[in-house]
Structure 1
């Protein structure tokens, strides 16, 4: 009975070793571009905003803690009814993780929460 066998010649092994070294060097070179990126800038800032207040949220603001004013209304023309949620990417390209939140409801009530770490918090609930 014959078997098909493949034996690597020293030339084949050298070529494969060189290809592996090249691939490793490319991967290492590409990872160097990622090094200047700070750890905070690589973090996920998507937060699920949950409304359990019994009132419709008509405005929502999130501003990094370095801001002295509220950014634009993230909901825009949309609203967030009670019992519903929305996932919002809080990333403002500043690299910040600490944000202040402000929600305005259809009864005129406003709720502010300061110092929310959006790099660690996945869900934020208004109750």
Structure 2
């Protein structure tokens, strides 16, 4: 009986560890390699039709600046669509791109 309980406890711990590892937050560095202020940044897993909330909130990312971002959406995906919006005085258009952010670890937006 004790062996069965130990085995059951080990199995439960293994399942919980696997689940926690699969739902880790995605952390990456975003760098603004443009000459314009990046005012809004949206992400959404590839295949999802709606954008998540603006990651920056009230903050902005100036030219040449970098920021470490965390996507804590509880998903286990790595492929994300990204949308970049610039200051209204900028000559840059809204830009969209898709990348595997787990593999990259960092992303630089260029003009």
| Residue segments in structure 1 that go unaligned for 5+ positions in a row | 1-23
Which of these residues, 63, 68, 87, is aligned with residue 68 of structure 2?
87
More off after superposition, 90-99 vs 59-68: 90-99
Distance, in Å, in 2 between the alignment partners of 1:118 and 1:80 is 19
**1:112 corresponding residue in structure 2:** 96
**2:106 corresponding residue in structure 1:** 123
- The total of aligned residue pairs comes to 101
Once the two structures are superposed, the pairs formed by residues 42-121 of structure 1 within 5 Å of their partners are 42=24, 45-106=26-87, 107=90, 109-114=93-98, 116-121=99-104
Relative contact order, CA 8 A, sep 6+: which one is greater?
2
Higher strand share: 2
Structure 1 segments of 4 or more deviating over 4 A? none
In terms of Rg, which structure is larger?
Answer: 1
Distance, in Å, in 1 between the alignment partners of 2:64 and 2:13 is 45
Distance, in Å, in 1 between the alignment partners of 2:13 and 2:96 is 42
Q: CA RMSD in A?
A: 2.4
